[in-house]
Amino acid sequence: MQRAFRQIYFDCNATTPVLPVAADAAMETMRSLYGNPSSTHLSGLQAKAILERARREAARVLNSDTSEIIFTSGATEAIQTAIVSMLITIRDALPSGQEARIAYGSTEHKAVPEALEHWVGKLALNARIEKIPVDAQGKLDLAWLRDRLPQLHALATMAVNNETGAVAPLVEVAKLVDECGLKQGRRPLWLVDGVQALGKIALDTRQLSFDYACFSGHKLYAPKGVGFLFARKSAPFVPLMVGGGQESGNRSGTENLPGVAAFGKILGYLPGPSSPATHGDPLFHSEPELENFRSRIVAALTEIFPRIVFNTPLAHSVPTTLNFSIPGMASKEILDLFDSAGIRVSAGSACSSAAIKPSYVLQAMNLDSWRCSAAVRLSFGPALSEEELEEGLLALREVG
């Protein structure tokens, strides 16, 4: 019997639905607490209180200081801000004629290499930009990094990959960066893309010495158009947006209060490295629960496609992302098949799935070319309910 139509949304690494608690928080700032946080009257003070509450939540989740959190329009803006800060600082300090050395992980989201390329050009910086190789699991080549670190001025590494879910060895990278700093008296400025890590793995700014980290609301059940940058107090900072002096002069422009309120609400449900969640009632599943969800999806996929090959290194990934290829099937065919059963997945990353090209992430992992061009990403969020999962499994079996 045909199932009643319902969308099974398994594309949460592209974006997530806005959860009712977040939508309610946003709605409240649009309908009643709609003041401008810069106004000095009561409405402004109420708006400011919402903004600062969200900042406290973000700081708690990262174990940082509230002064280190700057709200932005999303991760892409946070990345630009960090990169502009790094490049201008390097340019101003570099003896003339000397080349700046920059390295980024070869599986980074496009926002990082594109921003580096763009701003290096616009700032007329004499720079050599290199990609840090990864192994077949998507893990950064730490020996390569150890060799290059003494010469590097800037470094960008993502915490969790958006296509495969691979978790980066940030503890090891931090150790190398810190050792380099001790030996040399100088260490590269370090940006971490934490977008896909938020709500899945903890990032403790007191344990990991990165200078900047970027985050995006719409990857964790808040609306699109809001994110934040963590910029360490000791790290150089050059504002990208100037004007009214909002965000302590670090990011001018009237704040996106509905977005910030919604994101702040969601952050309140996350535990920090040394603090419990602010809201007691759990919204997100624990890692073992998510692992259980993933193994049930893996079992269903393997039952339907016995020759399936997983491109995600399951043992070294967040449980919410699966990337797979099926011999003899193009990703477009799999996508269409899933779509007809109401299951939304994507080919590689969302940004490139309109024109399906081989995944540069899988290519960097040196996987067979058929796997790179036939890859499908299935990603769910940490708030997936048991009922949604069951429906998804049923729909997957219908695909079979």
Work out whether 213 is an interface residue with ligand PLP (CB under 6 A).
Answer: no
- Please pick, from the candidates 165, 227, 268, 392, the single residue that binds ligand PLP as defined by CB under 6 A: 227
Q: Which is nearer to ligand PLP, 74 or 342 (CB)?
A: 74
Q: How far is the CB of 193 from ligand PLP (least distance, A)?
A: 5
- Please pick, from the candidates 196, 205, 325, 379, the single residue that binds ligand PLP as defined by CB under 6 A: 196
Distance CA 230, CA 211 (A): 8
> Residue 132 carries which DSSP code?
E
Segment interacting with ligand PLP, rule: CB under 6 A, options 126-134, 189-197, 249-257, 267-275: 189-197
Work out whether 163 is an interface residue with ligand PLP (CB under 6 A).
Answer: no
Work out whether 195 is an interface residue with ligand PLP (CB under 6 A).
Answer: yes
Distances (CA, A) of 158 to 107, 109, 184, 281: 8, 8, 25, 30
HSE-up (13 A, CA, CB side) for residue 198: 34
Catalytic residue among 12, 180, 214, 351: 351
Distance CA 244, CA 2 (A): 57
Residues in the interface with ligand PLP (CB under 6 A) total 13
Q: Which is nearer to ligand PLP, 158 or 235 (CB)?
A: 158
Q: How far is the CB of 239 from ligand PLP (least distance, A)?
A: 18
Q: Provide the 3-class DSSP secondary structure of residue 77.
A: helix
- 293: Cβ–Cβ under 8 A, 6 or more apart, which residues? 285, 319, 380, 384, 389
282's tokens: 């759990």
Distances (CA, A) of 302 to 53, 147, 269, 309, 370: 45, 41, 34, 9, 19
Q: How far is the CB of 167 from ligand PLP (least distance, A)?
A: 12
Distance CA 104, CA 148 (A): 12
Q: How far is the CB of 132 from ligand PLP (least distance, A)?
A: 16
Closest CA to 92 of 116, 124, 130: 124
- Please pick, from the candidates 55, 60, 109, 251, the single residue that binds ligand PLP as defined by CB under 6 A: 109
Work out whether 216 is an interface residue with ligand PLP (CB under 6 A).
Answer: yes
Q: How far is the CB of 227 from ligand PLP (least distance, A)?
A: 5
Q: Provide the 3-class DSSP secondary structure of residue 166.
A: strand
- Where are any strands of DSSP class E within 143-300? 154-158, 189-193, 212-216, 227-231
Query: Angle at Cα 387 formed by Cα 384 and Cα 391, nearest 5°?
Result: 100
Q: Which of residues 64-83 bind ligand PLP (CB under 6 A)?
A: 74-76
- Please pick, from the candidates 81, 162, 164, 246, the single residue that binds ligand PLP as defined by CB under 6 A: 162
Segment interacting with ligand PLP, rule: CB under 6 A, options 134-142, 193-201, 295-303, 316-324: 193-201
Q: Which is nearer to ligand PLP, 76 or 317 (CB)?
A: 76
Q: Which is nearer to ligand PLP, 195 or 231 (CB)?
A: 195
Closest CA to 190 of 150, 224, 155, 161: 155
Q: How far is the CB of 111 from ligand PLP (least distance, A)?
A: 5
Q: 351 catalytic, yes or no? A: yes
Give the residue numbers marked as catalytic.
351
Provide the binding-site residues for ligand PLP, judged by CB under 6 A. 74-76, 109, 111, 158, 162, 193, 195-196, 216, 218, 227
